[in-house]
Amino acid sequence: MNKDLSLLQPYPFEKLTALKAQVTPPSDLEHIAFSIGEPKHPAPEFVAECLNDNMARLSNYPTTKGLPELRKSIADWCERRFKLQDGSVDPEANVLPVNGTREAIFAFTQAAVNRSDDALVISPNPFYQIYEGAAYLAGAKPFYLNCLAENGFIPDFDAVSEDAWQRCQLLFLCSPSNPTGAVTDLETLQKLIKLSDKYDFIVASDECYSEIYLDEAQPPVGLLQACADMGRHDYKNCVVMHSLSKRSNLPGLRSGFIAGDAALLGPFLQYRTYHGCSMPVQHQLASIAAWNDEDHVLENRDQYRRKFDAVVEILSPVMDVQKPDASFYLWAKTPIDDDKFAQGLFEQQNLTVLPGRYLSRETDGVLPGAGYVRMALVATLEECIEGAHRIRKYVESL
pLDDT in tens, the chain (398 residues): 999 999 999 999 999 999 999 999 999 999 999 999 999 999 999 999 999 999 999 898 999 999 999 999 999 999 999 999 999 999 999 999 999 999 999 999 999 999 877 999 999 999 999 999 999 999 999 999 999 999 999 999 999 999 999 999 999 999 999 999 999 999 999 999 999 999 999 999 999 999 999 999 999 999 999 999 999 999 999 999 999 999 999 999 999 999 999 999 999 999 999 987 899 999 999 999 999 999 999 999 999 999 999 999 999 999 999 999 999 999 999 999 999 999 999 999 999 999 999 999 999 999 999 999 999 999 999 999 999 999 999 999 99
Query: Any residues with CB less than 8 A from the CB of 336 and at least 6 apart, and which?
Result: 344, 398
Starting from the edge strand earliest in sequence, which strands make up the sheet with 256-260, in order?
A: 95-98, 256-260, 238-243, 202-206, 168-174, 120-125, 141-146
CATH topology of domain 45-293: Aspartate Aminotransferase; domain 2 (3.40.640)
Domain edges within the chain: 3-42+296-397, 45-293
**For the whole model, what pTM was predicted?**
0.96
Using DSSP's 3-state secondary structure scheme, residue 359 falls into helix
Predicted confidence at residue 43, as pLDDT, reads: 95
Burial string for 90-110 (b: 16+ CB within 10 Å, else e) reads: ebebbbbbbbbbbbbbbbbbb
Residue spans of alpha helices (H) in 217-365: 223-229, 244-247, 262-275, 281-291, 295-315, 338-349
The CATH number given to 3-42+296-397 is 3.90.1150.10
Give the separation between CA 291 and CA 354, rounded to whole angstroms. 31
Predicted confidence at residue 6, as pLDDT, reads: 93
State how far the alpha carbon of 234 is from the alpha carbons of 186, 264, 288, in Å: 18, 11, 24
Predicted confidence at residue 68, as pLDDT, reads: 97
Predicted confidence at residue 117, as pLDDT, reads: 79
Predicted confidence at residue 276, as pLDDT, reads: 77
Among the listed residues 348, 304, 295, the one whose alpha carbon sits nearest the alpha carbon of residue 330:
304
**Which contacts of 300-308 are long-range, i.e. CB under 8 A and separated by 24 or more positions?**
300/41, 300/211, 300/212, 300/247, 300/248, 300/249, 301/211, 301/212, 301/213, 301/214, 301/216, 303/41, 303/381, 304/212, 304/214, 304/328, 304/377, 305/214, 306/381, 307/377, 307/381, 307/384, 308/214, 308/377
> Taking the CA atoms of the chain, what radius of gyration do you get in angstroms?
21
